[in-house]
Amino acid sequence: IFAAVEMAPRDPILGLNEAFNADSRSTKVNLGVGVYFDDNGKIPLLGAVRSAEKTRLEAAPPRGYQPIEGPVAYNSAVQNLLFGADSAIIRDGRVVTAQALGGTGALRIGGDLIKRIVPGATVYISDPSWENHRALFEAAGFPVDTYPYYDPATRGANAEAMIAKLNTLPAGSVIVLHACCHNPTGADLTEAQWAEVVKACASRGLIPFLDMAYQGFADGIEPDAVAVNLFAASGLSFFVSSSFSKSFSLYGERVGALSIVTQTKDESARVLSQLKRVIRTNYSNPPIHGGAIVSAVLSTPTLRAEWEAELAGMRDRIRAMRTGLVDKLASRNIDQDFSFVIKQRGMFSYTGLTAAQVERMKDEFGIYAVGTGRICLAALNTKNLDYVADAIAAVVKG
């Protein structure tokens, strides 16, 4: 059966973890995967999560099957976080939410559903985008193309080029948008530019699919929902995949959600019925633990306040690492100005390091980054900052 099976390439992001784990150097640093580490280099277990877990363990609840789309309490907590508790689209029954296996799982069930509804669509992702966007929409059976996004000259988003492209696309095209903390570039659109994107989606009849994996990592929970809220106010139908991997530090629990905004309550019921078929034939229904913890934290005022403070702490530490890296590099006597790193948002910096420079960082220093030059600032800490700055300085000096 397997004689002709070829070796598949390593995943460009998670594959780095495998190589990193196999590296025996004690000074190694993993700036590859988008995971938040604390100043001691550990993935934190948040205090709010710990409290909710303790309560749950004591209650010793049974482990029956969940509803196919996940529990109402979880799905409603997700909606409130994305759209605001007083949102008109929630009140009008225009939002359908299903718990999903992380943000990736949400994108995939969304992709599978769209394939059933608009089988001939092409999916457009930003250039560049998270590596897995292309792979998973191709796996769902779509041709995947790109729209222009990043301008290396300004190190920012080129909204004009992006919107010009959107305005040429055929109706029914799926547009994958990074709602905040663009991965990999860290370059986000302004509110005014988002309004233009919404307008283009409306006038062309596009299918917006917002990927919201980093809510709370740019400016805060509400401000980071600016794009989602503009779409919600537009009257359009759209998709949102969201994730608690980062914001709750629950990566391996695979806690995310797919939310679909429809035109009417009746449409919602029909869309949910189809989404349930997609889920049932994939993994049947979602696991309990992570979602139960998230909904307990979000619906218990003291735990929610604790979580918001912990999320702000992660956000602030990443910002401090951005400034720290820029300062350290400035003192290393190199020609290149890295001050743009301070302006980028979220966990990542698109450093402009070439694939060859990234390779040298790995070979000579045991520092792992994505081949595109993306580094995860949330893996920097006060102990490895000098070492990383030395390595970057060494490879850019040539």
Q: Please list the active-site residues.
A: 130, 211, 246
- Binder among 29, 33, 46, 255 for ligand LMR (CB under 6 A): 33
Per CB under 6 A, 346 contacts ligand LMR: no
Q: What whole-number distance in Å separates Cα of residue 354 and Cα of residue 336?
A: 13
Per CB under 6 A, 126 contacts ligand LMR: no
- Closest Cα partner for 357 from 326, 398, 386? 398
- Our CB check for ligand LMR shows the closer of 33 and 279 to be 33
Q: What whole-number distance in Å separates Cα of residue 253 and Cα of residue 369?
A: 24
Per CB under 6 A, 158 contacts ligand LMR: no
- Residue 65 phi/psi, 5° resolution? -65, 145
- Our CB check for ligand LMR shows the closer of 238 and 251 to be 251
Where does residue 181 fall: left (phi above 0), alpha (psi -120 to 50 degrees), or beta otherwise?
Answer: left
Residue 1 CB, nearest approach to ligand LMR (Å)? 30
- Binder among 79, 97, 129, 132 for ligand LMR (CB under 6 A): 132
- Our CB check for ligand LMR shows the closer of 166 and 347 to be 347
Beta strand pairing call for 123-127 and 144-148 = parallel
Residue 225 CB, nearest approach to ligand LMR (Å)? 19
Residues that contact ligand LMR, how many (by CB under 6 A)? 7
Residue 313 CB, nearest approach to ligand LMR (Å)? 20
Residue 200 CB, nearest approach to ligand LMR (Å)? 26
Q: What whole-number distance in Å separates Cα of residue 146 and Cα of residue 217?
A: 25
Residue 217 CB, nearest approach to ligand LMR (Å)? 12
Q: Let me know how long the chain is.
A: 398
Instruction: Kindly identify the residues of this chain, within the stretch 61-90, that bind ligand LMR according to CB under 6 A.
Output: none
Residues 258 and 214: beta-carbon distance below 8 Å = no
- Our CB check for ligand LMR shows the closer of 346 and 366 to be 346
Which residues are CB-contacts of 77 (< 8 A; sequence separation ≥ 6)?
294, 295, 298, 299
Residue 235 CB, nearest approach to ligand LMR (Å)? 31
Per CB under 6 A, 373 contacts ligand LMR: no
Tokens of 148: 């222009």
Residue 314 CB, nearest approach to ligand LMR (Å)? 15
- Binder among 20, 31, 34, 212 for ligand LMR (CB under 6 A): 34
What mask of x and - would describe binding to ligand LMR in positions 181 to 220, judged by CB under 6 A?
--x-----------------------------x-------
Tokens of 277: 């078929």
- Our CB check for ligand LMR shows the closer of 201 and 290 to be 290
- Our CB check for ligand LMR shows the closer of 213 and 255 to be 213
Residue nearest to ligand LMR (CB): 34
Burial track 300-337 (b if 16+ CB lie within 10 A, e otherwise): beebeebbbebbeebbebbebbbebbbebbeebebeee
Per CB under 6 A, 229 contacts ligand LMR: no
Residue ranges of E strands in the chain:
29-30, 95-101, 123-127, 144-148, 150-151, 156-157, 174-178, 207-212, 238-243, 255-261, 348-350, 367-368, 374-376
Rounded to 5°, the CA angle 153-159-160 comes to 95
Q: What whole-number distance in Å separates Cα of residue 177 and Cα of residue 107?
A: 12
- Our CB check for ligand LMR shows the closer of 307 and 348 to be 348
Q: Which residues form the interface with ligand LMR (CB under 6 A)?
A: 13, 33-34, 130, 132, 183, 213
